[in-house]
Structure 1
Amino acid sequence: MIGRILAFAALLWALGFVWFGVALPSPAGDERTAAIVVPTGSGGRIERGIALLRQGASPQMLVTGVDPDVRPAEFMAEYRVEPALMDCCITLGFSALDTRGNAREAAEWVAAREVASLRLVTADWHMRRAAIELGERLPKGVTVLRDGVPTRPSFVTLFREYHKFLAAWFLAII
């Protein structure tokens, strides 16, 4: 009996891992939101957020988890952001060190600005866990549009992230 239970659990784990790796979240459409939130990390995230900001998908953006040594001028030079866009629309958040910290920093920023909807821009492999962590901390009623940045994650990246996702999901349901 124990062997069957373990075999069933292993099958569920394997099917879940296949789903996790094959059905990665994709980019969102052109829906407008009140804000864009971009956790730092793998390439393409910040560039996608800035492009969406320039396209008018949102009037403001938070980049959370920025290294404390980065200065706004360095950020502007790195991502070719004009001063007017930086001044009006981009907030750099320096307090987060990980995904949970990104969620906390973003939730505080969202609450302070009374944001009703946001677009979460992060790597496709990171989206599910980031959305769970953020959803656990956001004020009630805030709508989150998931915008996955396409990547080519390695098996190791998917394996690690799947287990982090399972832990975040489990903690969210208990």
Structure 2
Amino acid sequence: MTQVVVGIGSHVECERHVRACLDALAAEFGELRISRVFESEPVGAPGNKNVYNLVVAFDSRASVGELKAWCKRTERANGRIDRGPVTLDIDLLGVGDRRGTFEGVSLPHDDILRFAFVLRPLAELLPDARHPITGQRYAELWAGFDPGQQRLWPVDFTWRGQVISKAD
């Protein structure tokens, strides 16, 4: 089994789509480790609505290609279209310590080092895990990260009756 880490985002009916994604992940992969849910202003995304983002880790034997295909099917099942606001976005951030391109997927995902809405929940969920390329712990990467204009804040969020996230 290999640890898989995905980033989840939604711009439209955020709570509904994030919950649907968590349900689908749990049904397919079993036990999930879930970060807090963060709201942020849109960065490089269509529309002007705020976005919900979180990071989820789970164990799987699936190949990178199978994981990516699952992500795309789940996005489409939740109304994702190529243009317009994003109902659900699932990015494969990492699969074990793989680095390079696997079945057309670049790992680890570049967004880890680029966006606060990816790195902060990742650093909170897996603070001692190391970035496969830099070798730095995610907590260290977050501590040295300059978010600039990338504002984000935790929000209250429950899933299956469990509190996943609380606002500060």
Please report the TM-score for the alignment, with normalisation by the length of structure 2. Answer: 0.33
Q: Return the structure number with greater strand share.
A: 2
Q: Which has the larger radius of gyration?
A: 1
Q: Return the structure number with greater helix share.
A: 1
